[in-house]
Amino acid sequence: MMRSFPDRLRRAVLRFRREEDASATVEYVLIFVPLMVMIFFIFEMAMAYHWALAAQKGVENGVRYAVTQAPMHSSLIDTDGTVVKYQLAGSSKPGDLCYFGTYCSQIATVTCTGGASMAPECNAAFMARLLDVVSQHAYGLDAESLTITYAESGLGRATETVIPIITVSISSRDFPLGLSLMGIDTKLPAVSATLVAENMGS
């Protein structure tokens, strides 16, 4: 007896539903893609975290190096080549604590950024050495991402060598792995480290 098309279709669907020969393959395909995406995402996050920690270690080493060197900005270098000294202010006497300009002059905050846009007041050789120190840990670092800042600490004494706070920082930059290849804009966070420079150049 000839069955109708809907009846044959229904029987074929029922037979397909009972067939289990390829069930493992279907389940594998359904699980494989999400699993690979999850593994890739975990790998990306682990790499980004590692890069961020490496950059942090780099700026910490960089600022330790910077506090032992003469300032790289010419405004902090005297005419005789030594580090500038605090000037007396008001009724202060030599050796008085500065207290942020109360008893002696303050230094202006100055910043040097590496690369082609570096200001002429900044020492290019110093920046190159600083970049080498930081790059020992910070992967893929370009000069334009590296900045050093000198700011008043308020810890100096009148007529004595200035004591700035030095900050070495790496700006936010592209993370050059998988997500960026797919057109997703991925950035590493900016990192910085700060120390008080009590004995610059010593």
Structure tokens at 155: 């810890």
Q: Which residues pair with 83 in a beta bridge?
A: 77
How far CA 47 is from CA of 40, 121, 142, 157, 198, in Å, comes to 11, 37, 19, 46, 36
pTM: 0.76
Cα 163 from Cα 157, distance rounded (Å): 9
User: Which class for 141: exposed (0-12), middle (13-18), buried (19 or more C-beta within 10 A)?
Assistant: buried
Structure tokens at 92: 């202060």
**pLDDT tens-digit profile of 148-177?**
999 988 888 888 888 899 999 999 887 766
**pLDDT tens-digit profile of 117-153?**
889 999 999 999 999 999 999 888 889 999 999 998 8
How many CB atoms are closer than 10 A to CB 74? Answer: 13
Residue carrying the six token digits 């405004």: 75
Question: Residue 54 pLDDT more than 80?
Answer: yes
Cα 182 from Cα 174, distance rounded (Å): 13
